[in-house]
Structure 1
Amino acid sequence: MKKKVSIQDIADKAGVSKTTVSKVINNTGNISISTQKKIHAIMSEFDYQPNRLAATLKTGHTKLIGILVPDIRNEFYSKIVKKCESLLFKAGYTTIICNTERDYFQEENYLQVLKELMVEGIIIISATDSINTDLIEQNKNIVYIDRVPQSDNENIIKSDHYEGAKKAISELIKDNRDPYLIMSKTNYSPTRERTAGFKDAVQELTPIVDIQKHIFRLNVSSDKYLEENSLLEEFLIEHSTNPKPLGIFAINDYVAFMIIKTALKLHISIPEKLSVIGFDDASVANIATPTISTVHQNTTLLAEKAVNVLLTNIISNNHGKVKKITIPVAMVYRESFPKK
C-alpha cells in the first residue's frame, strides 16, 4: 500500500519546517515566492492534498466565505462577485457563490447551508430587504452590499443611488427636457433610493405638482431587455408628440436599452426628441446604438470595501466597528445625452 504523505514529509523534502509548509498551504504568513513555488512543486510531485477538515478541527477556521448574489447573470452583480472572490483568494479564503434568483426562501436556504458549512463570513448582495434574523445572528461576520439598514449593527457598503439619480434628472431638466422616470417591475432598495432622487430633483427644479404621473413602471424585470414591450411603445407614442422633448431617466442601463431600442423602432430621434440616461454603466450602455449616457457605479471599490470590512471583522473576532460606507457615483456622457 502506498504510504500516505504528511506535511512533515513535504517539509523534509523542501528543507523547511512544518510551520512553513502549513503557512504555504493556508496562504498565511510572509513566505518567499521561491519557497512557495518549491513547496507547491513537491506537493504536486507527491500528489499531496491537504485535509481541510483536519485543519478546521485543529484551528477552528474553515477559511470559507459565502457570497449571496441575487442574479449571477447580471453584469453589475457578477463584477462585484468576481472582484470579491479574487481579493478573498489572495487573502487565503475559498468562496462559495450562492445565486439566490432574487428569491427570499432560496436566500434563506443558502444561509442555512452556509451556517452548516461553518463559513467564517458572508457577503450578501441583497435583492430582498428582509432576511431571517435568527440565521443572521448565527452568522456574525456579515457585510451587505446595497441594502437599506434594518438595524444599527449592520455593515453596509452601497453606491450613492440617491445623488446619482438626482444628478441625472437635474441634467435633463436643465436641458429643458420633460422629465420622466421609467422603472422595471422590481422595487429593491437601490430602486427606491433612485426614485427618491428623481422625485426630489423634479420637485426642486420644476413646477410639476403630480410627480407620480411622471413615473412609469414597466410590467417586466430588466432582464427582459431584449424583448419587445407594448406598454413601452404606447408610452413613447403618447409622449413623443409633446411640445417639449422627453428626458427619461431609466432605473438602470437595461431599461435604458429597451427605451432606445423602442424609440428607434418608432423613428423617434435621439437625442433631439428623446434623451435617455441610465444607471450602472453596464457594457450594454457602451455598445448600444446610440451609446447610452449613464451613472457609473464603482464595482471595484464596492468589492474592495466589502472584503476589507469583512476580513477586519473576522480578524477582530466580530469586535470591529460597524461600517456604513457610501461610494460616490459619476455621470458618464454618451450619445443618448451628450455633455453640454
Structure 2
Amino acid sequence: MMVKADDMLLFVQVVEEGSFSRVSARYEITLSVVSKRIARLEKALNVQLLYRTTRKLSLTDAGQALYKKAKLAQQALQDAQDVVTGYSDDVRGRMKITMPVVTANLVLSQSLIEFCEQYPGIEVELQVTNRVVDILDEGFDLAIRTANLADSSLVARRLVDSNWVVCAAPQYLQTYGIPAHPDELTRHHCLLYKYEGTKPESWLFRLDGQDTPMAVQGRYRTNTLDTLKHGAMAGFGIAYLPRALIYEELQAGKLVSLLTPFVAKALGIYAIYPKARQPDKKLALMVEHFRQALQRKQQYFA
C-alpha cells in the first residue's frame, strides 16, 4: 500500500494537537475520517505510530521518528507556499511561537495580540515558558530568547539588550546594611535563581576590569524570577533580576539598586528561527513588530 503524503501531514497535526477530536474540529473533518486515515498510514508503513487511550495519545518510537521527518516535510511545503504568497500583499498562515515569561508578560503577549488584530489571516500558537525548547524537534517557527546565543543552527536577530540589577527592599537594607562591594555578599542572604536540573547560577560582576562569576549563598532557591522578585520585595534578601522585571518597583523606591559599578550581567533578547526556514513575509513582519514593541519599552531594559 502506498503512503499518502496527506496522511503524513494529518499525522503531524494529530501529534501537535494531541487529540483526534481537536484535529477533527479544527479542520472540519469527521472524527472517523481522522481515525481511518491514521490507521491507513500505520497499515501502509506496517508499524504502530501512536498509543491511544481514552485520555491521551503518545508516540511509539516509530511515531517519534516519523513525526520529526514529516514535520520537516510540512515546513518545506509551508516554505514553498510562503515564497509564493510573499509576492502578494496578503499575510496569512499559522505560526508556532515560544517566549520566556518575563518578556511575554511585560511586552510581547500583548504585542502578539496586536499583530493578529492587524493581520486577520494569521493564526498563532503561543507557548510561554522559560524552558529552552528544541525549535526543530518541537516544530516552532519562532522563539524569543533572553540569552548569550552560540547555536549556529539558528538564525538570530537581536531585538533589545536586557540589563540585570542587584536589588533589595529598603527594609532589608535597614536591618542588614548596604553592601559596598560584591565580596560583602557573603554576609548577606541572597535569593537564588535555579534553572530546572541545574545548580543555582553564580552572579556575574565586573572586578578589576574582568567579568567574574561569584558564588553566592542563600537558603532560598526558585526557578521563577517573579518569585525572586516577591522575595526581595518582602525584605527576605538580595536578588539579581532583569531590570525590566523590577523597573516600576525601582522607580517607586520599593526596591533599591545595589553594587551598580560592579554589575556585569546583560543579555540580548533575540528572535530566532531555524536556518532552514525561509524568512517569509509573516515571519519578517512579526519579528520587526516584536522589535519595535521592545524598543518602545527601552527604558525598562537599559
Higher RCO (CA < 8 A, seq sep 6+): 2
The normalised TM-score by structure 2 is 0.39
- Give the structure with higher Rg (CA): 1
